[in-house]
Amino acid sequence: MSMLARIIGHMRPLRRQMALGLALSVTASLASFGLLFLSGWLLAAAAVAGLGGIAARNAFNLFLPAVGVRFFATMRILARYLERLVTHDATLRLIGRMRAWSISRLAPQAPALLARQRSGDMLFRFVSDTDRMGQFYLEVLVPVASAAICCVVFVAVMGAFSLSAALVLAVGLVVCGGVLPGVAGALSVHAMRRISRQQDTMHADLTEVLQGMGEFMFLGAGQAVQARIAARAADIRTERRRVALIEGGARSVMTVVTMTSALGVLAMADMACRAGALSAACLPMLALGGLAAFDVLAPLPAAWPLLGQVHMAAGRVFALCDTPPSVAPPALTRCPDDPSCLSLSDIGLRYPGAERWALRHADLSVVRGERVALVGPSGAGKSTLVNLLFRFYDYQEGTARFGGVDLKDVDADIMARHVGVVAQDFHLFQGSIRRNLTIACPTATEDAMWQALRVARLHAFVQAEPAGLDTLIGEGGVRLSGGQARRLAVAQVVLRNPAWIILDEPTEGLDAGTEHDLMTALLSALSPRTTLVCITHNPAVAARMDRVVRVEGGRFHEAGRAP
Ligand SMILES: Nc1ncnc2c1ncn2[C@@H]1O[C@H](COP(=O)(O)OP(=O)(O)OP(=O)(O)O)[C@@H](O)[C@H]1O
C-alpha cells in the first residue's frame, strides 16, 4: 500500500470531521469568489445608475447585488473561521492518533530497537514526522481538493456567461494550479530530500550532544561536534534558500499567468459583448471573477513540496513501525501460578547480530524467598538474565519457566507486576523525588514513600532538603550523586514490593558504611517470601546472600550456599 493510502487509512475514523472541514473550505472559497463576482456587478450597477439617472436606476436592479455582496461577505468570514476551527482540530486529532499508533508499534520493539537507532532519530520520528503526516490533510489534501472543486465551479459559472471566457479561465487555472506547482515541486524535490536528511541527522546529533555534553567536553570533541552541527545547519539554510527561490519563482510566474488570464477573460467577454451575446454590465463582473478565481490556488506552490516531505516522513515512520518486534508477543498470555520461582534449563541466548552466545547451556533454579548473588567477570552474561526475564531479547535454545508457566507465554506487563528491577543503567525521570516514586507506585502514600526511602538509606538526605519529597532531581537525576540516584532507584523497587527483586550492582558508588546499612535495611525490610537476585562484583554484598551463583562462559555455576 502506498504511503499516502496508509495515511488516508489513519484518517478514516475522522472522515466526517475532515469532510466537514473540506466543505467549509470550499464554501469559504466560493463565497470569496461570489463576493468579487457580485462586486463587479454592483460596480456596474452603481455606475449605470449614476450615469443614467432615475430611468436607468429603475431599469437596473441595485438591490440584488448589494444583498448578494453582504451575504457572501458574511458567509466568507463565517466559513473561513469555522474551517480553521474544524480542520485544525481534525489535524491535531490525526497527529495524536498517528503518535499513539506509532508508540503502540514501537513499544514492543524496545529496548532492542534502541540498540539499533539513535534516540534523537526516534524523537524526530515521533515529533516532526508524525506532525508532517498530520499536515497532509491540512496543507495538502484540503487546499488541493478545495481548489479542484472550486475551479470546476468557477469555470462553470463563467461558462454560463461566455464559453470562450470560461475556456481562457480554465487554461489559466490548470497552468497555475497544476503545471506550475508541479514543476516547482519537481525542481525542489532534491533539495527537500536533502533538507529532510540533514535535519534528521542534526536532530540526532543535537540529542546526543545534550545527553553527553560532559563526555564530549572530557574527550575534547566539543568543538568538532559544534562545527559538524553548524555545517549541517548551513547546508539546510542553502537548500531552504533554493526551495524558497523555486517557490518564489513559481509564485511570480503564477501572478503573471493570473493577470494574463484575467485580461484574456475580459477580452473574451468584451468580444461576446460586442457580438451582443453579453450585456456591458457583465464585463466588470467577469473580470473581477476571473481574478478572484485564482485566489484558491495560492496555497498550492507550498502544497506540492510538502507532499514530498509527507511522503518521506511517512516512509520513515512506517519503515520503523513495520519492523517486526525482535521478540514475538505471546499467542496466549498466561499468568504465573506462583510468581516467585524461576527455572532455566539448557538456555541459549544470542543477541541479534552477535557472534557469541551471551548464555549457552545455562541452567538455573531460584525458588521463593531465596537471596541469590550472581557474580562473575564482566561480560559473562549476568545482566542478560534481566533481558531474558522481561523478554527484551528472545532465547533461542532451552526452556524457561517462571512461576510454573513457560516464559514465552508471559508478557512484559505481567512480568513487571511480579518482578522489580534496578538495572545497571537505570533511569530516573525529570521532576521531583515524589514524582519518581509515584511513577513506580501510583497508589503509594506519603508514609510508604518515606519508608521506602528509609530502606534505601536516602531518607536523611531527603529530610534535609527544604522541599523534602518535592526536591527536584533534574533530567535523569543529574542533581543527585551517583550513589543517591541508585538508592532512589532502589527505593522505587522497594515501594512496589514485588514478589521478585533483581538489583544490578545496587551498591555501586556507595561507601562501605552506606553499602552495609543499605543491604542490612533492605534484607530486613523484605518479606521472607520475596526473592532477591543481586548481580554484583562486590564480595561483601555477595556474602550476605543465601547462595552465590557464578556466571562464566555463558553458564551458571553454583559457587556456594550460606551455611
Ligand atoms: N543489547 C546487546 N546487544 C548485543 N550484545 C549484547 C547486548 N547486551 C549485552 N551484550 C553482550 O552480551 C554479553 C553479556 O553481557 P552482560 O551485560 O550480560 O554481561 P555482564 O555479565 O552483566 O557484564 P558486567 O558485569 O560488565 O555488567 C557481552 O559480551 C555483551 O557484549
Residues 323-333: pLDDT tens digits?
877 777 777 77
Lowest mean pLDDT among 210-214, 404-408, 421-425, 510-514: 210-214
Judge whether residue 335 has pLDDT over 80: no
Query: Residue 111 in 3-state DSSP?
Result: coil
Judge whether residue 22 has pLDDT over 90: yes
Q: How far apart are CA 221 and CA 461, in angstroms?
A: 36
Is it true that domain 342-561 has CATH number 3.40.50.300?
yes
* All residues at 6 or more sequence positions from 280 whose CB lies less than 8 Å from its CB, including other chains: 44, 273
What's the mean pLDDT when you consider all of the chain? Answer: 87
Lowest mean pLDDT among 164-168, 325-329, 457-461: 325-329
Q: How far apart are CA 317 and CA 95, in angstroms?
A: 13
Q: How far apart are CA 400 and CA 393, in angstroms?
A: 13
Judge whether residue 112 has pLDDT over 80: no
Q: How far apart are CA 501 and CA 533, in angstroms?
A: 6
Question: In this predicted structure, what is the pLDDT of residue 59?
Answer: 55
State pTM to two decimals: 0.73
Element (H, E) at 503: strand 500-504
Tell me the pLDDT tens digit for each residue of 368-384: 889 999 999 998 888 89
Residues with CB under 6 A from ligand 1: 115, 351, 354, 358, 376, 378-384, 424, 551
215: CA distance to ligand 1 center in Å? 22
340: CA distance to ligand 1 center in Å? 25
Nearest CA to ligand 1 atom 11: 358
Give the three cell numbers for residue 276.
451582443
Judge whether residue 295 has pLDDT over 60: yes
358: CA distance to ligand 1 center in Å? 7
Nearest CA to ligand 1 atom 25: 378
Lowest mean pLDDT among 113-117, 195-199, 251-255, 383-387: 113-117
Map out the domains of the chain as residue ranges: 3-322, 342-561
Nearest CA to ligand 1 atom 19: 379
385: CA distance to ligand 1 center in Å? 10
Question: In this predicted structure, what is the pLDDT of residue 46?
Answer: 72
Question: In this predicted structure, what is the pLDDT of residue 1?
Answer: 56
Closest-lying ligand 1 atom to the alpha carbon of residue 393: 1
Nearest CA to ligand 1 atom 27: 378
Architecture in CATH for domain 3-322: Up-down Bundle (1.20)
Residue 198: which of 223, 243, 241, 234 has the closest Cα? 234
Mean pLDDT score, 412-424:
86
To test the pocket of ligand 1, the residue of 374, 383, 424, 551 to mutate (highest count of ligand atoms within 8 Å of its CB) is 383
307: CA distance to ligand 1 center in Å? 44
Nearest CA to ligand 1 atom 5: 351
Distance from first CA to last CA of the chain, Å, rounded?
66
Share of the chain above pLDDT 90, in %: 44
Facing residues of 399 across strands?
A: 345
Q: How far apart are CA 292 and CA 290, in angstroms?
A: 6
Q: How far apart are CA 266 and CA 150, in angstroms?
A: 20
Q: How far apart are CA 367 and CA 16, in angstroms?
A: 57
532: CA distance to ligand 1 center in Å? 21
* Strand ranges inside 306-402, DSSP E: 342-349, 359-366, 371-375, 397-402
More confidently predicted of 20 and 281: 20
Residues 313-336 as b or e (16 or more Cβ within 10 Å = b): bbebbbebbeeebbbeebeeebeb
Tell me the pLDDT tens digit for each residue of 338-355: 777 889 999 999 988 888
Question: In this predicted structure, what is the pLDDT of residue 54?
Answer: 56
To test the pocket of ligand 1, the residue of 344, 347, 375, 382 to mutate (highest count of ligand atoms within 8 Å of its CB) is 382
For 36-88, the DSSP string reads HHHHHHHHHHHHHHHHHHHHHHHHS--HHHHHHHHHHHHHHHHHHHHHHHHHH
Nearest CA to ligand 1 atom 14: 381
Question: In this predicted structure, what is the pLDDT of residue 50?
Answer: 63
Strand order in the sheet with 397-402: 359-366, 342-349, 397-402, 405-406
* Strand ranges inside 350-468, DSSP E: 359-366, 371-375, 397-402, 405-406, 419-422
Facing residues of 375 across strands?
A: 550
Is-contact 424 505, C-beta < 8 A?
A: yes
To test the pocket of ligand 1, the residue of 344, 355, 384, 537 to mutate (highest count of ligand atoms within 8 Å of its CB) is 384
367: CA distance to ligand 1 center in Å? 25
Q: What angle separates helix 282-292 from helix 142-161, to the nearest 10 degrees? A: 160
Question: In this predicted structure, what is the pLDDT of residue 58?
Answer: 58
For 510-562, the DSSP string reads --HHHHHHHHHHHHHHS-TT-EEEEE-S-HHHHTTSSEEEEEETTEEEEEEE-
